[in-house]
């Protein structure tokens, strides 16, 4: 138990130090970086899954996140930034994500998430209380299929779909994790 607590302390310290060492961009610069990353992630998704473009464009809204996760033995965590967009009103909400993990594994991975919401109510609920607790088993990149429009996406709940892509890194893990998605008060 003491070893597990020590590992968690090291992970927390690394996350805090990493955040403190980031160069502080102006609000406009930070927003521009997130918008640019969102466009790149969507273009990457559309290139590997062309049907996803219609699914995103026809949805009530979507949220795109770029994140990095680390897993060392029995503990891990991750953090990322993203943008939620209402496709009808074009309203943008800048968001953050943080996750903690417990379980066996080792690795570092960069990944991107594209959430698709079929209704505005589901998008607003995600923006205001986007907490996900779940389990995860990762050994290789696999995708599920659910209908032509959402091929390659996972059904998270009725009316909510998730595309996940890895960028760089390898991870082999079996974890229980909690992920919190929340508004970025500094950028909204």
Range 73-95 average pLDDT: 92
Q: Is the pTM of this model over 0.85?
A: no
Cβ–Cβ under 8 Å, residues 102 and 185:
no
Range 37-58 average pLDDT: 93
Tell me what pLDDT residue 150 has.
62
* Nearest of 105, 111, 120, 128 to residue 180 by alpha carbon: 128
pLDDT band at 102 (very low <50, low <70, confident <90, very high): confident
pLDDT band at 25 (very low <50, low <70, confident <90, very high): confident
* Nearest of 177, 98, 175, 97 to residue 138 by alpha carbon: 175
Q: Which residue has the tokens 């968001």?
A: 95
Six-digit token string for 67: 């994140």
Query: Which distant-in-sequence residues (6+ apart) come within 8 Å of 186 by Cβ?
Result: 27, 30
Cβ–Cβ under 8 Å, residues 111 and 166:
yes
């Amino acid at each position: 138990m003491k070893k597990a607590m020590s590992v968690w302390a090291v992970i927390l310290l690394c996350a805090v130090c990493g955040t403190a060492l980031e160069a502080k961009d102006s609000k406009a610069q930070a927003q521009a970086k997130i918008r640019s990353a969102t466009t790149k992630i969507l273009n990457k998704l559309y290139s590997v899954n062309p049907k996803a473009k219609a699914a995103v464009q026809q949805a009530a809204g979507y949220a795109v996140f770029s994140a990095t996760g680390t897993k060392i033995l029995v503990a891990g965590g991750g953090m990322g930034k993203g943008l939620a967009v209402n496709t009808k009103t074009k309203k943008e909400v800048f968001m953050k994500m943080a996750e903690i993990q417990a379980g066996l594994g080792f690795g570092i991975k960069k990944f991107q998430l594209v959430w698709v919401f079929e209704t505005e109510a589901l998008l607003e609920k995600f923006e205001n209380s986007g907490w996900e607790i779940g389990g995860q088993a990762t050994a290789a990149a696999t995708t599920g299929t659910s209908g032509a429009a959402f091929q390659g996406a996972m059904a998270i709940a009725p009316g909510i779909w998730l595309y996940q892509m890895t960028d760089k890194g390898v991870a082999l893990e079996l974890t229980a994790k909690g992920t919190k998605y929340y508004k970025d008060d500094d950028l909204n």
